[in-house]
Amino acid sequence: ETGVTQTPRHLVMGMTNKKSLKCEQHLGHNAMYWYKQSAKKPLELMFVYSLEERVENNSVPSRFSPECPNSSHLFLHLHTLQPEDSALYLCASSQGLQGQPYEQYFGPGTRLTVT
Amino acid sequence: AQSVAQPEDQVNVAEGNPLTVKCTYSVSGNPYLFWYVQYPNRGLQFLLKYITGDNLVKGSYGFEAEFNKSQTSFHLKKPSALVSDSALYFCAVRRISSGSARQLTFGSGTQLTVLP
């Protein structure tokens, strides 16, 4: 799991807080992803970045704001979250050439609890 | 639109017995199909993928999966289960299209428990 790292691993925040999740990939990939994983539900794709440009935003509320300053780093800025946003947030990366079946490599996730 | 169904939330199997984790998919056109495994407090790990060609795909840790186009299935199998195989397994599909984004659609997961 050293290929994709995420910090922090656990985060508890109040609804009025602002926090950020960080993801870093050491694989030389050029596509990065944010997913939300809730119990008993399929993974929900939130954002996709390719070559630092956002290429997909799956109707995610504006209280989630992604940032990709370079191809190795991805952030998810959080503000005024709701309790239903509590979940495991997973970052992934892939070589990401369009149309090619590259597998994604996942980080360990950040367990977020909104109180 | 594309979708994945994993009809079993939970699969229990005795150690040493063969295991199967089921997956069916729906996609327009031909699919890329993937299996991932998630151990507790870890991210997903790639196991194997089907792109084209041989319908039987071999992957990591002795797992294999069989692509069946007529049944739109991609079941994960292993001839002899280990206790250490106990984990959450996800099937995923992506439509083959030069215009598609890199979006994978995941199933809801199947918890595999291998009993000693």
Cβ A99–B97 below 8 Å, yes or no?
yes
In chain B, whose CA is at the least distance from the CA of A54? B101
Residues with Cβ within 8 Å of A40's Cβ and at least 6 positions away in sequence, in order, are B9, B108, B109
Cβ B43–A42 below 8 Å, yes or no?
no
Q: What is the DSSP string of chain B?
A: --EEE---SEEEEETTS-EEE--EEE-SS-EEEEEEEE-TTS-EEEEEEE-SS-SEEE-GGG-EEEEETTTTEEEEEESS--GGG-EEEEEEEEE--TT--S--EE---EEEEEE-
* pLDDT for residue B104: 84
Task: List beta partners, residue B113.
Answer: B12
Q: Kindly report whether the peptide bond that precedes residue A8 is cis, defined as omega within 30 degrees of 0.
A: yes
pLDDT digits (tens, 9 = 90+) for B42-93: 889 999 999 988 899 999 999 999 999 999 999 999 999 999 999 999 999 9
- Is the pLDDT at A34 greater than 80, yes or no? yes
Reported as a pLDDT band with limits 50, 70 and 90, residue B98 is very low
pLDDT digits (tens, 9 = 90+) for B77-90: 999 999 999 999 99
* pLDDT for residue B40: 87
Reported as a pLDDT band with limits 50, 70 and 90, residue B38 is very high
**Burial environment of residue A45 by CB neighbours within 10 A (0 to 12, 13 to 18, 19 or more):** buried
pLDDT digits (tens, 9 = 90+) for A65-103: 999 999 899 999 999 999 999 999 999 999 865 667 788
* pLDDT for residue B5: 95
Cβ A98–B49 below 8 Å, yes or no?
no
In chain A, whose CA is at the least distance from the CA of B107? A42
What percent of chain A has a predicted confidence (pLDDT) above 70?
96
- Is the pLDDT at A110 greater than 90, yes or no? yes
Of A43, A56, A107, which has the smallest distance from its Cβ to B101's Cβ? A56
Residue B50: closest CA among B41, B59, B39, B60: B59
Q: How many CB atoms lie within 10 A of CB A12?
A: 13
Residues on chain A touching B59 (C-beta within 8 angstroms):
none
Which of B44, B98, B103 best tests the A interface by mutation, with the highest count of A CBs <10 A?
A: B44
Cβ B34–A103 below 8 Å, yes or no?
yes
Cβ A106–B32 below 8 Å, yes or no?
no
Mean pLDDT for the stretch of residues A37-65: 84
In chain B, whose CA is at the least distance from the CA of A102? B102
* C-alpha span between B64 and A4 (Å, rounded): 25
